[in-house]
Homo-oligomer: A and B are copies of this chain.
Amino acid sequence: MKVQVHVRLKPGVLDPQGRAIHHALEGLGFEGVEDVRAGRLIELEVAQSVTDDQIEQMCRQLLANMVIEDYRIHRVAEKETA
């Protein structure tokens, strides 16, 4: 079973990486970009026996820093590659 975890900075937390990307896009001449936030995309391949609760625990204990980050768990259907 494939699981995607999206880890993002909480709203209001300063994002220097996102700001650098934003600045670089403007430097390359791209217009109309209003904001950029950078986060992490963690893809787990887990056994069917792994429960939702266990995945939540992985996020809270390791994958996300709960002080400044939020996480979101997406289950990916077997056929889907996104």
Which residues of A are in contact with B by a Cβ distance under 8 Å?
6-8, 18, 21, 24-25, 28, 30-47, 49-50, 54, 57-58, 61-63, 72, 74, 82
Contact = CB atoms under 8 A, between A and B. Distances in A.
Number of copies: 2
A25 to B, nearest CB: 6
A35 B45 contact: yes
Contacts of A24: 62
A44 B17 CA distance: 13
Contact of A33 (B36, B41, B50): B50
Contact of A34 (B32, B36, B40, B46): B46
A57 to B, nearest CB: 7
